[in-house]
Amino acid sequence: MDFRLTEEQKMIQRTVREFVKNELMPLEPEVLRREREGKRGMTREEIRALQLKAKELGFWGINTPEEYGGANLGPIMTALIQMELARTFVPFSFGGSADNILYYCNEEQKKKYLIPVINGERISCFALTEPGAGSDAANIRMSAVKDGKYWVLNGEKIFITNGNEADFAMVFAVTDKEKGANGGITCFLVDREMGWRSEYIHTMGEWGPASLIFEDVRVPEENVLGEVGGGFKLGMKWIGQGRWMIAARAVGAAERLLQMAIDHAKQRVTFGKPIAERQAIQWMIADSHVEIEATRWLVLYAAWLAETGQDTRHYASVSKLFGANMANRVVDRVLQIHGGMGYTKELPIERWYREMRVWRIFEGTDEIQRYIISRNLLKGHVKVGDLLA
């Protein structure tokens, strides 16, 4: 059992860290200024320019198959890269990637949807959640009724990331009520021009999701993604990939915050001593470090399971549950260590504080993760003390 990174992994990690330090962190003051004025932190054009600069370093399609021009670095390296990118709150991701379920497109659909997304020419969004069906994804109510060579969609989706910017949506709708989730839900590729509209949802953080409204939106039958009735399985594939990636981001953000706390504790003097010499501060720093390290290895284990073709579902839930809560505990301690200044908008700590809270909600709430974990244990799918591999 060797926990060391390979030389290639170390090199890629260092390169990404330098990119974040030199290209992204200097943008933080401007991003904060714009967000405080109610604007987007980065424009689509600015992000695109940074993505092309990263492409010169070889960072393009990090998890995209080589046949589509990607680097296909694999889950472990992708997790390490996400940890590095999360050291800044600048809203950036490397270009050249697409939602994993878009690879289920047929050849014609790939030309119209998959390839343009990989090339950065189109933006997609994943539309599953509804006002009455969040964690209970199988309970969606949006209907799709066949009418000749079209499907007519009616309903609403909510809390959709990229929903305000997307050129098309991967929309999940009920095509057969009698069959339920397994066989009765279908995924459709729906262009904005087909008639759906989006409405911005204001949140406590900078995440600005959307409601998507569908009123008699007619979708050609050739826009079914995968097979009719196969939508729920596709939706779970999308969600399953995202869970341990949230924990990866939690590691990077928490590391940056912890370093801020350490630096401040050494400089801040009270009653004649730096607060770094106070046991209360030392314990907060120590607890944060321990929890970050625990999350790191949970994430890398889930990524290793994915890379070796094994079932990641249980450890994706474990890492997501622990990582999301870890990040919220760490940012709270860091804010406390900074005292009143941590509570102000002069520092980005309060921004992280607001952003991290949603990590315990989206891609499956804490409660859903606990349900999945306990169910696996109670039904014997996972044995206490046994590694999954």
Identify whether residues 181 and 304 lie together within a single domain.
no
CATH code of the domain in which 315 resides: 1.20.140.10
Identify whether residues 188 and 221 lie together within a single domain.
yes
Tokens of 253: 């953000």
Q: What are 70-88's pLDDT values in tens digits?
A: 999 999 999 999 999 999 9
Task: Give a yes or no: residue 139 inside a domain.
Answer: yes
Give the largest Cα separation in the chain, rounded: 80
Low-confidence stretches of the chain (pLDDT < 50) are none
Q: What are 18-46's pLDDT values in tens digits?
A: 999 999 999 999 999 999 888 889 998 99
Task: Give a yes or no: residue 12 inside a domain.
Answer: yes
Give the per-residue pLDDT at 388: 63
Task: Give a yes or no: residue 1 inside a domain.
Answer: no
Task: Give a yes or no: residue 39 inside a domain.
Answer: yes
Q: Provide the β-strand partners of residue 219.
A: 151
Can you give the residue range of the structural domain that contains 270? 233-378
Average pLDDT, the chain: 93
Identify whether residues 41 and 158 lie together within a single domain.
no
Identify whether residues 260 and 373 lie together within a single domain.
yes
Task: Give a yes or no: residue 103 inside a domain.
Answer: no
Q: What's this model's pTM, rounded to 2 decimal places?
A: 0.92
CATH code of the domain in which 187 resides: 2.40.110.10
Identify whether residues 275 and 297 lie together within a single domain.
yes
Q: Provide the β-strand partners of residue 125.
A: 169
Task: Give a yes or no: residue 113 inside a domain.
Answer: no
Cα–Cα distance, 169 to 273 (Å, whole number): 57
The number of domains in the chain is: 3
Task: Give a yes or no: residue 388 inside a domain.
Answer: no
Look at residues 229, 249, 268 and tell me which one is the last residue of a structural domain: 229
Give the per-residue pLDDT at 332: 98
Give the catalytic positions in this structure: 363
Kindly give, in sequence order, each residue whose CB lies less than 8 Å from that of residue 367, ignoring residues fewer than 6 positions away: 135
List alpha helices for the chain, DSSP H: 7-19, 28-36, 44-55, 74-85, 107-109, 115-118, 181-184, 231-267, 279-307, 313-338, 340-343, 349-357, 366-378
**Among candidates 72, 75, 160, which has minimal Cα distance to 123?**
160
Identify whether residues 369 and 265 lie together within a single domain.
yes
